[in-house]
């Protein structure tokens, strides 16, 4: 349970929140489109997490919940120790003593489960709020970038609902928009972070298919 909670605490979990920003309705075109329409793809949620502001915000949330994670790990270790002691002393314990130890272990396991569920819920809520705040601003930068570079449509390849079957590397504007956002936000890269953030570079996005 603690291992699962620790996995949830990873920064990568924020990309799984599935909470896209509330995008404003597109403005009516004042000039009829001419020629071919440029189309791009972006991994929106991972890109938000890859911005300097996103990495700093999510690291702050992780730091806030680190003491709780440590507390849960300590409780889990305590339960493991009690179980090992019970197994080692099993043959010498009276039925009453054995039952008492089992109740203690059971109570601690129930407490661990409740605390882990509460901590996971609180953590996900905090990460979601941090993501949404940045995603709204990131969308505005994305919109400006697309208008300035003549893109007529952009597909989000970070969600299973978007039917992006294939896209070339040149069509992926994730890194370009991240850099644009970093420049406009003025937020420096977190200390110790790589100079160039690792944004998703997947060029193929295959939907789930059924083999026949």
Residue 185 predicted with pLDDT over 70: yes
129 membership: H or E segment, kind and range: helix 95-148
User: Average pLDDT over the chain, rounded to whole?
Assistant: 82
Do the Cβ atoms of 72 and 115 come closer than 8 Å?
A: yes
Over residues 70-96, the mean pLDDT reads 95
**Choice among 11-15, 51-55, 84-88, 172-176 with the minimum mean pLDDT:** 11-15
**Choice among 29-33, 79-83, 156-160, 177-181 with the minimum mean pLDDT:** 29-33
Q: Which of 116, 10, 13, 121 is nearest to 73 (CA)?
A: 116
Per residue in 95-115, pLDDT (tens digit) is 999 999 999 999 999 999 999
Q: Which of 175, 164, 171, 183 is nearest to 200 (CA)?
A: 175
């Amino acid at each position: 349970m603690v291992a699962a909670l620790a996995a949830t605490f990873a920064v990568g979990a924020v990309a799984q929140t599935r909470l896209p920003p509330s995008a404003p309705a597109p403005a009516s075109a004042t000039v009829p489109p001419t020629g071919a329409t440029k189309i791009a793809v972006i991994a929106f949620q991972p890109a938000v997490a890859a911005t300097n502001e996103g990495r700093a915000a999510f690291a702050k949330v992780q730091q806030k919940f680190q003491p709780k994670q440590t507390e849960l790990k300590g409780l889990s270790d305590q339960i493991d120790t009690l179980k090992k002691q019970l197994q080692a002393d099993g043959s010498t314990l009276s039925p009453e003593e054995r039952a008492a130890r089992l109740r203690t272990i059971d109570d601690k396991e129930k407490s661990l489960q409740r605390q882990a569920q509460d901590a996971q819920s609180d953590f996900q809520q905090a990460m979601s709020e941090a993501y949404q705040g940045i995603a709204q601003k990131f969308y505005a930068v994305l919109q400006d970038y697309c208008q300035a570079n003549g893109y007529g449509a952009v597909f989000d390849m970070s969600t299973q609902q978007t039917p992006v079957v294939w896209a070339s590397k040149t069509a992926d504007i994730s890194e370009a928009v991240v850099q644009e956002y970093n420049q406009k936000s003025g937020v420096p890269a977190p200390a110790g972070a790589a100079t160039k953030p690792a944004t998703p570079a997947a060029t193929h996005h295959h939907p789930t298919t059924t083999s026949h």
